[in-house]
Amino acid sequence: MNIQSIDGWEEYELLDSGDGQRLERFGKYTIVRPDPQAIWRPIQHKSLWADADAVFERVTSTKGKWNFKRKMPEQWLVKYKDLSLWARLTPFKHTGIFPEQAAQWDWIKERIETGKKPANILNLFGYTGGATLAAAAAGAKVTHIDASRPAIGWSRENQAASKLENKPIRWIIDDALKFTAREARRGAQYDGIIMDPPVYGHGPEGEPWDFNKDLPKLLQNCSLILSGNPLFILINAYAISSSALMLQNVLEDYVKDLGGNIEVGELAIKEKNTSRLLSTGIYGRWSR
């Protein structure tokens, strides 16, 4: 089991965590938002928390509102290496940027660059496009799938902000299971597949998604659209009751004949000025 951690970008830091919350800096703004697993004690002084620009207040089990100490823009740019991403405060506590994924973006970039061939990449449940843009910046052709029209729009804004408008990216609003099944019938092939499936969700036409029921079906579809010499498969998972060993076992069902290696573990963010790690999810990835 591995832990892939990131201890902050130049424009992102986990300043502290504890008492069911995390204190973060995105660019020049600091925010406080819930994190149910952070049941330990905060380290930093209360005054640092009290000075946050915005604090998320839970209203229902899925939504809430932001309380502002000072005026903030509706969106602002946060940079990671050669990528520029728009941060926004949503009613679901998210900002559209998942900082821990920077470790995966670097891994994707390395796989593509060392693959020494033009790569065709599929990104399923692509949301605001961080992985898509990392792959495109590395020279890949990318197909980005998401069920949400607003998320696709946000991704395209990130593409423009990162000055990657001329990169070959297809933006498609679709259901992941339906799309991969059609691609299999069409004989499409991809050298790398990225997926970031939720625990539960719905496609653009209300198609239900259940992680435990549907992930094996999705991987079966994906196994049919891998190229003859594929580079990688990457799965991220959040807020599920299974360990990363589940991802290893299910990946083995579909890649055992391909050779290569499977790596599984946790994604984490390292707090500023401490050795403490905040786990943010699990991952499984196969590569040659």
Q: Which domains does the chain have, with CATH numbers?
A: 7-87 (2.60.40.1180), 99-287 (3.40.50.150)
Its sign, for the CA torsion 136, 138, 141, 144, is: negative
Q: Report pLDDT digits (tens) over 66-110.
A: 999 999 999 999 999 999 999 999 999 999 999 999 999 999 999
- Of 98, 89, 84, give the one whose Cα is nearest residue 71: 89
pLDDT value at position 7? Answer: 72
Distance CA 117, CA 147 (A): 30
| Mean pLDDT of the chain, nearest integer | 96
State the DSSP code for 11: S
Lowest mean pLDDT among 39-43, 169-173, 255-259: 255-259
pLDDT value at position 5? Answer: 82
Tell me the CB-side half-sphere exposure of residue 161, using CA atoms within 13 A.
Answer: 22
Q: Report pLDDT digits (tens) over 124-133.
A: 999 999 999 9
Place of tokens 């898509």: 132
Residue 187 zone, left/alpha/beta (φ > 0; ψ -120 to 50; rest): left
> CB 91: neighbour CB atoms within 10 A?
13
Q: What is the mean pLDDT of residues 167-179?
A: 98
Distance CA 109, CA 107 (A): 5
Q: Report pLDDT digits (tens) over 201-247.
A: 999 999 999 999 999 999 999 999 999 999 999 999 998 888 999 99
Q: Report pLDDT digits (tens) over 21-64.
A: 999 999 999 999 999 999 999 999 999 999 999 999 998 888 89
Give CA torsion, residues 280, 281, 284, 288, to 10 deg: -10
pLDDT value at position 116? Answer: 83
Phi/psi at 37 (nearest 5 deg)?
A: -80, -10
The answer to whether residues 131 and 104 touch, using CB atoms and an 8 Å cutoff, is yes
Q: Report pLDDT digits (tens) over 273-286.
A: 999 999 999 999 99
Rounded-to-5 percentages of helix, strand, coil across the chain: 25, 35, 40
pLDDT value at position 233? Answer: 98
Instruction: Give this prediction's pTM.
Output: 0.96
Distance CA 79, CA 28 (A): 11
pLDDT value at position 136? Answer: 98
Q: Report pLDDT digits (tens) over 115-166.
A: 988 999 999 999 999 999 999 999 999 999 999 999 999 999 999 999 999 9
pLDDT value at position 1? Answer: 58
